Every structure is written in C-alpha cells, then in structure tokens.
Amino acid sequence: MDKRARDSSASPVEANLAASDDRLTAIAKDRLIKELREAVRARDDFLAVAAHELRNPLTPILLSMQLVRTAQRSGDSIKSAAELDRLERLIKHFASRTHMLLEVAQISSKKFQLEPAELNLSELVANVVTDYMPLVARSGSEMITSIQKEIVGFVDPMAVSGIVENLLTNAVKYGRGKPIELALTAAAGLAKIIVRDHGIGIADGDKDRIFNRFERAVTRDTHSGFGVGLWLVRNLAESMGGSITVIGESGVGSVFTVDLPIKTQGNHL
C-alpha cells in the first residue's frame, strides 16, 4: 500500500496526531536554529570583549618597555629599576586577564562569581593609577589624584582593578589631552571612585545608552574600540552591589562615579 493509500485510510484522529507531530518538529527546528544563532552571537560578543580586555593592559606594557630602554640608554639605573618594577606588575596583571575573560563570559551567562578578599582599596587604586601613568602621559593629559588613605574593605580586587582601568582608559581616549582627575573616598561603608575628564563630553540622550554592550556615544570613524568598557564597569560594579552614574555635557567633559559597598572580612556575609 502506497503512502497516499495509507493517508486516505487513516482515521481523523490519526491524521490530527500526524499533523501535530509535524508542527512539533517544526517548532523544535525553529528553536534549535534560534539557539545556534544565539550561540554564534555570544561567541562573537565574547571575542570582541576579549580583544578589548587584552588590549587595555598591552598599551601600558609597551610604553613601559620604551621607558626602560630610554632609561638604560641614558644610564639612569634608578629610573630603569623603577620601570622594570612597573613592567613586572603590568605583565602579572596581563596574565591575570585570562581570569577576567572567564568572568566576562560568566557575566554574559549570568554565572559570574566574585572572589572577594580583604584589602587596602586605597593602595589598589593608587597602583592602577601608577601603572597607567605612561598611557596618560602619552595622551598629553595631566593626572590629578585625590585618594583617601587606608580604605580597607572586602571586595574583588580584579573587579575593582577592571573598573579603574576602564574608566582611566575611557578618560584618556575621550579627554582630548586635558587634565584627568581621579578621586577615591569612603564614608558610611560606601567607597566612591570618581573619574573626571574635560574632553568631548556626553549628550543627554547618550547617558544611559553608553552603559550597554557595544554602544558608544561617538562614531567608530573618530575613536577606535568595541564599546564594551563602560558595559564592563557597570556589570563589575553591580556584581559587587554597587552602581555607576555619569554627568556631563557635550564639549565640556564627563564625570563617572562608581559607588561600591565596602565590608570588612568579619561582616561580608
């Protein structure tokens, strides 16, 4: 008996079941295609974030190497030793970026886990500023800092470092060589990291959008980058129970403020 004969002999119930099976198969195929597309998009997104996060520390590493060579040619052993110390810290930090990339992947999959430790937040922020000074100097900007001493808290050091690095990189990129100001203060269990630039600024309509992934307030023709730095800052801050805000206007500059709750090891639970 051929297929048409079998179909014609099928009962209405059997025909309805067969049609239902066909619909379920089509739905399953559509779902699989959607999942595959989302997986490809997630892969592409991760590669873009990886490129951003690996490029950030590479620039000060290369600049520090140039400073080491300059100091060696001039016979300045003290300057050479200081730059070698900086270079060692930067390389160690670059190696730790592999861990940060895993965190980025976990952020995207909603599986991000903090690794907090009790540390001196003042020293951590000051060290990041020191390591990024060659990048700031190359941009022509003056770095002005006001870091409250002995701020101790139970926080994730890589997350805090990522926040400061991305805010400084952002200020250098859009600051037009004008002064960059960084302040760290703490009061009532809350630390504030404030980074101000006096560059191109941000239009009112862009102040929320710039914290989204792959969003930028300027065209790619004028400034390179993937548009993930501020997205990372927002996610890292929120992962620690904090937040980020921005004020500013076009042509005047911007002020980014990250609020982070700080806790001691004894009351971090």
Q: What is the pLDDT of residues 249-269, one digit of tens each?
A: 888 899 999 999 987 655 544
Residue 180: its pLDDT value, please?
A: 97
Residue 113 has pLDDT above 80, yes or no: no
The mean pLDDT of 155-180, rounded to a whole number, is 92
Q: Does 107 fall in a domain?
A: no
Is 127 within 8 Å of 83 (Cβ atoms)? no
Q: Does 246 fall in a domain?
A: yes
Q: How many residues does the chain have?
A: 269
Q: Does 175 fall in a domain?
A: yes
Here the CATH number for the domain that contains residue 137 is 3.30.565.10
Q: Does 65 fall in a domain?
A: no
Rounded distance, CA 249 to CA 201, Å?
A: 5
Residue 39: its pLDDT value, please?
A: 63
Q: Does 161 fall in a domain?
A: yes
133: domain range? 117-267
Residue 213 has pLDDT above 90, yes or no: no
What's the token pair of residue 172? 């250098």
Strand partners, 187: 190
Which is more confident, 57 or 229? 229
Q: Which of 171, 249, 170 is nearest to 206 (CA)?
A: 249
Residue 215: its pLDDT value, please?
A: 47
Domain count, the chain: 1
Q: Does 33 fall in a domain?
A: no
Q: What angle do CA 199, 201, 205 make, to 5 degrees?
A: 170
Q: Which helix (H) or strand (E) holds 181?
A: strand 180-187
Residue 47: its pLDDT value, please?
A: 65
Residue 167: its pLDDT value, please?
A: 94
Rounded distance, CA 110 to CA 103, Å?
A: 10
The mean pLDDT of 60-80, rounded to a whole number, is 85
Handedness of CA 142, 50, 108, 213 (dihedral sign): positive
The single-letter DSSP state of residue 213 is T
Q: Does 229 fall in a domain?
A: yes
Residue 103 has pLDDT above 90, yes or no: no
Residue 119: its pLDDT value, please?
A: 92
The mean pLDDT of 201-225, rounded to a whole number, is 62
Q: Does 186 fall in a domain?
A: yes
